[in-house]
Structure 1
């Protein structure tokens, strides 16, 4: 690189001197021309002029050669500059790669440090494992000794078992013989028990007949004594019966009078019962399936009327209207098949009497049933209201019902 720079400086110096020489030559040529026009020529001057004319083309040739060399040097310099730029680029790339290499080396050094730590840990664990293996070998040796001892004991046990099996076979033979003798003994005992049972039966029969005979004799004696006592009592009771007969006739007359009064009261009650209003109804909601949920409260109209004695229930409005003042028994059942809430309000005229509801978390039929006893005046209205966002379910099986009856008038 230093040699190249030196050559460039030398070439630039040459270019400068060549340019000065070219300028000087041109000045000399101008001066010569002006001298030729103003001064008279002599032979010496002519010879000098001819010499100058001969040397001038040589100088211009050198100048042109120097200019060509300068152009070539400029081209060469440009090439060198491009090469220098490429070298700079490559140098920057090499430096970047060197930085990356250093970073990678640092990373590898850290990884090596971590691996060294892991290796140290593994060495520690290996030492612990070797120690544990040594302990296990010792335990295996102890277990092998125990196993040999157990083998010896097992051999002794097998020998003893063989002896016990022989003894057991002898005992089985003796047991079979004893069982045969026992069966014979049991057969003899059974025969003796049957004979004893027959004797006991015959003895019991004889004792029973004897007891019956004694009992019959005692009974006959008691009957004779009773007959005598009853005869005496009958004679004394005959007068008492006459008195009782007179008393019974008196009481019979009194009972007949009371009976007539009772019949009269019964007739009066029957007439009052016939005149008393009869009120009873039983209804179901619908066959349409799901009812609700709605965005507002709605009055339920139980459209299926099975019983409506006294026509106090109106299916067109869903209202039960009390025909007379009295005490009424009212009942309703609620059913739903959806998740969510089910329930009803019970209203008397515009007064809320009851609210029952229940939350359902699973699909399926679920019921609730309630009843009330209310004192109503003639014209009071009872009706059920489905709350908003609540739902019911009914079908031909009549899951939702509304019923009631008059208990008594006031």
Structure 2
């Protein structure tokens, strides 16, 4: 055995230095490679960790942006709600103003109507002027007839009716009435004045000669109630004359109301 160990030692002593260097390098490499892989793995883990961190940051930024957008959206919705409330308030005020204006217009119109009727009722306008006929002589007749003054020149208030010969008082008041009776043939010219069914005046003129004009004019101031009727009647056996010159007339007007 000593011989064997001696041989081994000898072999070892006779080993080539080059081989020894290669062996040393191989050992060093074997030691270095594991360190590099460790570092690479560490770098990989670091990169993964950084990626995760970046993704988390991105998510946080996205969440922050979403939160910011949500906040801005909420603010916008709140502002929109405020604007809608303000608009509703303006609409309410506008409707109220329109209603107020409508009430004022109605009140003003009502006041104007009341004033119109007040003025109208206090001082209505009534006046008429008429002439009898263009036919010449009327009468004498066997019965009394109501004279219908057919030529109407003025009829303010439409109180005179040419179809009946009646003047109808539209309001209670004091009226001035006037008539002229003209005759040109021999005979008697005369006129009755009636208020409703009551005769209140009788006038006549006797003409003894043909073609000699005779006439008379009378006026009356009467207190009449609304609906009272005034008209003229030609008595039986009497005559009256009129032509284009309007010699026989009937007229009247309201002096004042009562």
* Offset, 1:348: 0.1
1:378 aligns with 2:226: yes
Q: Distance in 2 between matches of 1:301 and 1:270?
A: 34
Gaps of 5+ in 1: 1-268
Taking only aligned residues, the RMSD between alpha carbons, in angstroms, comes to 1.7
Aligned partner (choices 133, 136, 143) of residue 289 of structure 1: 136
**Deviation per CA, 1:242-280, whole angstroms, max 9, x where unpaired?**
xxxxxxxxxxxxxxxxxxxxxxxxxxx999655521100
SS at match of 1:293: coil
Q: Distance in 1 between matches of 2:220 and 2:120?
A: 26
Aligned to 1:404: 252
* Offset, 1:316: 0.2
Aligned to 1:204: none
Higher relative contact order (CA 8 A, sep 6+): 2
- In the TM superposition, structure 1's runs of 4+ consecutive aligned residues that sit over 4 Å from their partners are 269-275
Aligned to 2:207: 360
Q: Distance in 2 between matches of 1:308 and 1:389?
A: 31
Q: Distance in 2 between matches of 1:303 and 1:400?
A: 11
Structure with the bigger percentage of strand: 2
* Offset, 1:395: 0.4
In the superposition, relative to structure 1, how do residues 306 and 272 fare at CA in structure 2: closer, same or farther (>3 Å)? Answer: same
Q: Distance in 2 between matches of 1:349 and 1:375?
A: 13
Aligned partner (choices 121, 127, 139) of residue 280 of structure 1: 127
In the superposition, relative to structure 1, how do residues 380 and 271 fare at CA in structure 2: closer, same or farther (>3 Å)? Answer: closer
Aligned partner (choices 238, 241, 253) of residue 390 of structure 1: 238
Aligned to 2:185: 338
State whether residues 140 and 239 of structure 2, in contact with CA within 8 Å, keep that contact through their aligned partners in structure 1: yes
Q: Distance in 1 between matches of 2:234 and 2:214?
A: 16
Q: Give the TM-score, by structure 1 length.
A: 0.34
In the superposition, relative to structure 1, how do residues 396 and 367 fare at CA in structure 2: closer, same or farther (>3 Å)? Answer: same
**Deviation per CA, 1:320-364, whole angstroms, max 9, x where unpaired?**
000000000000000011111001000000011100001111122
Aligned partner (choices 195, 202, 205) of residue 348 of structure 1: 195
**Deviation per CA, 1:28-60, whole angstroms, max 9, x where unpaired?**
xxxxxxxxxxxxxxxxxxxxxxxxxxxxxxxxx
**Deviation per CA, 1:201-247, whole angstroms, max 9, x where unpaired?**
xxxxxxxxxxxxxxxxxxxxxxxxxxxxxxxxxxxxxxxxxxxxxxx
Gaps of 5+ in 2: 1-114
Q: Distance in 2 between matches of 1:271 and 1:303?
A: 31
Structure with the bigger percentage of helix: 1
- Which of the two has higher C-alpha Rg? 1
* Offset, 1:367: 1.0
State whether residues 205 and 214 of structure 2, in contact with CA within 8 Å, keep that contact through their aligned partners in structure 1: no
Q: Distance in 1 between matches of 2:117 and 2:183?
A: 46
Aligned to 1:324: 171
Q: Distance in 2 between matches of 1:272 and 1:367?
A: 42
